[in-house]
Amino acid sequence: MSYLVLARKWRPRRFAELVGQEHVVRALTNALEANRVHHAFLFTGTRGVGKTTIARIFAKSLNCERGIGAEPCGECGACMDIDAGRFMDLLEIDAASNTGVDDVRELIDNAQYMPSRGRVKVYLIDEVHMLSKAAFNALLKTLEEPPGHVKFLLATTDPQKLPVTVLSRCLQFNLKRLSEEQIAGQMRHILQAEQLPSDDAGIALLARAADGSLRDGLSLLDQAIAYTSTTLDEAGIAAMLGTVDRNQVAGLLRALDGADGAALMAVVADMATYSPDYGAVLDALASALHRVQLAQLIPGSMADTLDLPVAELASSLPADLVQLWYQIAISGRRELPLAPSPLVGFEMCLLRMLAFRPEEPSAAGNRPAPVRPASAAASSGRRTAPAASHATASSPPIAHATPQPTAQVREAVPVVTSAQAPAASATTLASAEQWLDVIEQAGLRGPVRELAAHAAFVDYQAPLLQLALPQGMDYLHSDAMLDSLSAALAPALGQRPQIRFQIGAAAPSDTLHQRRAREREQRQSDAEAGFMADPAVQHLVNAYGARVLPDSIRPLKEN
């Protein structure tokens, strides 16, 4: 007898057996019980979340020989034939391989005939977004007013590609990605029924690798059973998936916490013998840091974790350092394809974590201090990283051609202290136009640039700079932002200004954001006028009745 894979063997046959998707099951159950069933349904969602399964159960509910209802018997001829895939009045069409208009016309012609055996003829069109435009047009009329004995069940992973005319004719249900807990629970249920031993840590790895898809998770479970052949333990599953185990992730974090470069490289060397996916390792590191931060800021939230020693790391790592390392891990994951090799990119990401640590908060206030190289912290008694021993505490200003990297724990913006600001002659700042010119030339980036671009000039009496900020942009107003903006304006003004914002006050002048919007509108207007004045365009319009599509003209600079 041939082996039936777990994804097919354990495919739900009733609504009650479905994992998740309670919102969809409830709506369909109510419709069936009240006998108010729409003629066209659209099920959307990522792969392996139950779109086709729900459609088949729905078809059984409509054709069960014991009557229409939300609980098909599963024992009559119609139910058993639908489960076996041989029911003549359930027509499953793969739109990925039947995309043409001729395929749809054949479907439409067939829809006029009464069911040969069941109560309702059901058309299940999978990956419906793959149909051609002509095929959609041919389907529209029948989809809107099908014969009374026909129901359409459409499934797609990409509803954005469906024409609005199709969407408006269907009841749409969006199926959610399954959580790791839901996938792991179903795996444990299946393994218990199959009498296969496992451990929770190994199942957690498989559930995480499933990425929200129960079908993918069960395929991985099949693979794990074949790979381990005995107990599905964490070590065997980690080796199969090519992932690192929690002890190695914890080893990385312990070495980083101790600023122990040799220990860090030893863990990396041990990982390299397994040739792991270093992007996945950075994902695991970021996930670990997320759990550590939860334990730090929301006590008790990670009490039942089966992962790395969260409590130990949460007590030893500073909270702001966890945030910084998380950002470095995410950035390193994104930059990995640009590295000379995945291993080099991974090592450089870890060395970046090793090299930079936040300074101790100053006694002057609660404003977060800038990050400095770990070796610079040695003078204040903090642990140092050997890999960054060449760095110094007095980094050159960010405006220099080759500055040392600096950052803030709360804001990813450059920080320049007043002592670092280069000497410059004071610039007159007496009008809104001068203010706009100053911030245009300040080289601002990121959130600080957004803050300056939405700020309107009010007055400047050195060192006090008064600005107006709309109510909707007040989320940019913070101590860190003010400090960064003040430092960036220092070279132009000859000193660091004391910035004071009037939040929600009427803007007395244009902001940089408004000036640029006005310039864009002018460029667009000039482009449209120039295009319409072109002799060739005028000839096409006058001689052939051509018309210009709205919003199709763009200035050359934007193109």
The pLDDT tens digits of the residues spanning 487-520 come to 888 888 888 888 888 887 666 777 887 877 788 8
Over 70: is that where the pLDDT of 422 sits? no
pLDDT computed for residue 350 by the predictor: 94
Residue 526 lies in a domain: no
Residues 323 and 251 in one domain: yes
Q: What is the DSSP string of 469-512?
A: E-GGGGGG--HHHHHHHHHHHHHHHSS--EEEEEETPPPSS--H
Determine the structural domain holding residue 325 and report its residue range.
246-358
Q: What's the rounded Cα separation, in Å, for the pair 447 and 475? A: 10
Residues 263 and 348 in one domain: yes
pLDDT-wise least confident of 62-66, 72-76, 349-353, 490-494: 490-494
Residues 318 and 169 in one domain: no
For 200, residues 6+ apart whose C-beta sits below 8 A from its C-beta are 184, 188, 306
Which pLDDT band, with edges at 50, 70 and 90, does 394 fall under? Answer: very low
Residues 156 and 199 in one domain: no
Residue 116 lies in a domain: yes
Residue 88 lies in a domain: yes
| 325-339 confidence digits (pLDDT tens) | 999 999 999 999 999
Which domain CATH number covers 112?
A: 3.40.50.300
pLDDT computed for residue 469 by the predictor: 83
**Would you give the DSSP letter of residue 70?**
S
Which one is predicted more confidently, 249 or 505? Answer: 249
Residue 402 lies in a domain: no
Residues 81 and 198 in one domain: no
Which pLDDT band, with edges at 50, 70 and 90, does 347 fall under? Answer: very high
Number of separate domains in the chain? 4
Residues 230 and 250 in one domain: no
Pairing of strands 464-469, 150-156: unpaired
Q: How many helices (DSSP H) and strands (DSSP E) are in the chain? A: 22, 11
Coil, strand or helix: which one is 34? coil
Q: Find which of 181-190, 244-253, 540-549 is predicted with most confidence, using mean pLDDT.
A: 181-190
At residue 266, φ and ψ (nearest 5 deg) are: -65, -40
pLDDT computed for residue 304 by the predictor: 53
Residues 268 and 214 in one domain: no
Per-residue pLDDT, averaged over 110-117, amounts to 88
| 10-24 confidence digits (pLDDT tens) | 999 999 888 888 889
Contact present, 122 and 59 (Cβ < 8 Å): yes
The domain boundary, picked from 241, 266, 292, lies at 241
pLDDT above 90 covers a percentage of the chain that reads 18
The domain boundary, picked from 358, 383, 409, lies at 358
Residue 106 lies in a domain: yes
pLDDT above 70 covers a percentage of the chain that reads 82
Residues 336 and 232 in one domain: no
Over 80: is that where the pLDDT of 145 sits? yes
Q: Find which of 230-239, 300-309, 338-347, 446-455 is predicted with most confidence, using mean pLDDT.
A: 338-347
Residues 331 and 349 in one domain: yes
Residue 519 lies in a domain: no
Residues 23 and 165 in one domain: yes
Which pLDDT band, with edges at 50, 70 and 90, does 474 fall under? Answer: low
Token readout for 462 is 């050195």
pLDDT computed for residue 331 by the predictor: 92
Which domain CATH number covers 203?
A: 1.10.8.60
CB atoms within 10 A of CB 429: 20
Residues 142 and 230 in one domain: no
Residue 532 lies in a domain: no
At residue 356, φ and ψ (nearest 5 deg) are: -120, 135
Residue 473 lies in a domain: yes
The domain boundary, picked from 307, 337, 358, lies at 358
Q: What's the rounded Cα separation, in Å, for the pair 189 and 201? A: 15
Q: What is the pTM of this model?
A: 0.55
Residues 236 and 342 in one domain: no
Which pLDDT band, with edges at 50, 70 and 90, does 358 fall under? Answer: low
Integer distance in angstroms from the first to the last C-alpha of the chain? 63
Q: In the predicted model, what is the mean pLDDT of the chain?
A: 80
Which pLDDT band, with edges at 50, 70 and 90, does 427 fall under? Answer: low
CA distances from residue 323 to 9, 274, 279, 532 in whole angstroms, order as listed: 44, 29, 19, 54
